[in-house]
């Protein structure tokens, strides 16, 4: 069941960020854009490549009013160990530019419908939540293939553009500064006649 177009399930969980273990609530981010970045496990293979890619771009997301929250079934203590471990030891090298949330009871993964039951881990789910708390985009990958932080940023820009310009829609491959179209048959015809 897709959550797109629905209110994002709220949560209260422990997490690790900036050297601290503390509580995180989705409701604390009301009024901001949020990316929930589910991944299977700390200290694994594809996961650090994704988490580090999003960390490198976290300030760009933040400059657009969007916070990133990483989520796995690992505890806040395992998150701390992973962040602090050296890269050559499978860690994240000492710092991360967004929090890692602990879904140890797997409720969060279940609520967002990314829990892989047999394996007991989350699929690679990525959820974009708008400032009103509605899920506007979701991508879910199976375990062996990571996601693109650059594509996530492009999607954020597109959804922010549409939120600001209500009568405009973004065509495939749209990025900031490119032409959009009016969300109508006439707008579509005009766009296709000038862009193909």
Instruction: Give the tokens for residue 125.
Output: 């789910």
Reference 66, options 31, 99, 39; nearest CA is 31
CB 70 within 8 A of CB 77: no
Residue of 47, 115, 121, 143 with catalytic role: 47
Tokens of residue 57, six digits: 């771009």
- Report the alpha-carbon distance of residue 82 to residue 154 in Å, rounded: 28
Strand partners, 71: 38, 101
Alpha-carbon torsion (190, 191, 192, 196), positive or negative: positive
To the query of whether residue 170 is one of the catalytic residues in this protein, the response is no
Query: Which sequence positions are flagged as catalytic?
Result: 47
């Amino acid at each position: 069941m897709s959550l797109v177009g629905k209110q994002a399930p709220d949560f209260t969980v422990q997490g690790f960020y900036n050297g601290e273990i503390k509580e995180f609530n989705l409701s604390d981010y009301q009024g901001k854009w949020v990316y929930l970045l589910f991944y299977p496990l700390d200290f694994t293979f594809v996961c650090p490549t994704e988490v580090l890619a999003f960390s490198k771009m976290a300030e760009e997301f933040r400059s657009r009013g969007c916070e990133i929250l990483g989520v796995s079934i690992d505890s806040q203590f395992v998150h701390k160990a992973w962040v602090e471990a050296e890269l050559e030891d499978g860690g994240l090298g000492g710092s991360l530019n967004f929090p890692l949330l602990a879904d140890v009871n797997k409720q969060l993964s279940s609520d967002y419908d990314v829990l892989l039951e047999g394996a007991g881990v989350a699929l690679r789910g990525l959820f974009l939540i708008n400032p009103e708390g509605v899920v506007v985009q979701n991508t879910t990958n199976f375990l062996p293939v990571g996601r693109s932080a650059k594509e996530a940023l492009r999607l954020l820009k597109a959804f922010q553009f549409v939120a600001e310009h209500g009568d405009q829609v973004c065509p495939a491959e749209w990025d900031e500064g490119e032409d959009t179209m009016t969300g109508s048959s006439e707008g579509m015809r005009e766009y296709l006649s000038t862009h193909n």
